[in-house]
């Protein structure tokens, strides 16, 4: 295969050839669209750091969900902003909480759309942490009961899948046990199994109003320096009953996506997070990059790394482009 006998450019000389030998493709079925829902009426509040994204009241969320479904996207993942926050995150597991009401409404109108729910207390607690506070830290074991209750309330409302993002030890097992005992053994769990204590979450914390009021989340989210720890975390979650495992963020951790894809025979999801989205949008707004091409290259790289599913704020934009092809 030495030059000049082998010339790789032969198969690059036309768009038709390039498409024929393309190794990786992103499809609309790969995409999951995140949405933010908030208590109230006629709410469509722009998120300043995430152009094109909004906090939506339920009736506006429904219109957004219809658009997502029309574009061929199979699933959404919901994040809720409650009316009242307290130390225990009570609305997270209330039967008529904001997420629970949103699930019911979407299922009434678009039953075919897969609804995945984020299971974490950070959006619902007055302190902004992902669990129950004792002293100056989250009490891991005390939090498990509340996460299980939250997941069950979502399943009872009609959620198709629950996605614990809290990073408490043992939470997948606690949720699986509680769902099974209450008649929801068919509801799968997509675990945020390798969720890093990343600096790429800033815009999300504006969108979900979930920034911690003290300290940080380094005692429960993973150290960005660690790769072997991700293998251990994922193995534990699979043993506890996870059906899909996730890496978050995506782009700075593509090596982790690839390692998990090679190591485990389970679907791998990757979360193309808010900071990744906002950087592309900001650079594009300055004319420094072609935002559309960079968006599609980012999604392609996540898929090439081994992700089966991509949660991305680019989902709608990408779906429109893929629809045109």
Active-site residue set: 195, 248
> Helices in 84-136 by DSSP H: which ranges?
98-109
Q: CB–CB of 299/318 below 8 Å? A: yes
The two structure tokens encoding residue 178 = 């509680």
User: What residues contact 134, with CB distance under 8 A and at least 6 apart?
Assistant: 142
Q: What is the distance between the alpha carbons of residues 169 and 227, in angstroms, rounded to a whole number?
A: 18
Q: What is the distance between the alpha carbons of residues 6 and 217, in angstroms, rounded to a whole number?
A: 53
Q: CB–CB of 163/242 below 8 Å? A: no
Q: Are strands 137-138 and 133-134 parallel, antiparallel or unpaired?
A: antiparallel
Q: What is the distance between the alpha carbons of residues 146 and 121, in angstroms, rounded to a whole number?
A: 8
Q: CB–CB of 28/322 below 8 Å? A: yes
């Amino acid at each position: 295969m030495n030059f000049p006998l082998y010339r790789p450019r032969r198969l690059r000389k036309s768009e038709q050839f390039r498409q024929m030998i393309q190794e990786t493709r992103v499809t609309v079925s790969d995409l999951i669209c995140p949405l933010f829902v908030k208590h109230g009426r006629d709410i469509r509040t722009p998120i300043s750091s995430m152009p094109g994204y909004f906090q939506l009241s339920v009736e506006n969320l429904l219109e957004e969900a219809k658009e997502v479904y029309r574009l061929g996207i199979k699933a959404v993942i919901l994040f809720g902003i409650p009316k009242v926050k307290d130390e225990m995150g009570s609305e997270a597991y209330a039967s008529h909480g904001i997420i629970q009401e949103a699930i019911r409404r979407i299922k009434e109108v678009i039953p075919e759309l897969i609804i995945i729910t984020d299971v974490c207390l950070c959006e619902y607690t007055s302190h902004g942490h992902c669990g129950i506070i004792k002293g100056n830290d989250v009490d891991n074991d005390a939090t498990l009961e509340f996460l299980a209750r939250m997941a069950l309330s979502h399943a009872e409302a009609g959620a198709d899948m629950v996605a614990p993002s809290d990073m408490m030890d043992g939470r997948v097992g606690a949720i699986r046990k509680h769902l099974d005992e209450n008649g929801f053994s068919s509801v799968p769990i997509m675990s945020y199994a390798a969720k890093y204590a990343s600096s790429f979450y800033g815009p999300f914390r504006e969108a979900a109003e979930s920034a911690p009021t003290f300290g940080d989340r380094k005692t429960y989210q993973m150290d960005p320096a660690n790769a072997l720890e991700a293998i251990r975390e994922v193995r534990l979650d699979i043993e506890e009953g996870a059906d899909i495992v996730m890496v978050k963020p995506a782009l700075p951790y593509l090596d982790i996506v690839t390692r998990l894809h090679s190591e485990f025979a389970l679907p791998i999801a990757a979360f193309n997070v808010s900071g990744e989205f906002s950087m592309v949008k900001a650079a594009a707004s300055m004319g420094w990059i072609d935002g559309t091409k960079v968006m599609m290259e980012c999604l392609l790289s996540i898929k090439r790394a081994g992700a089966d599913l991509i949660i991305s704020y680019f989902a709608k934009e990408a779906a429109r482009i893929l629809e045109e092809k």
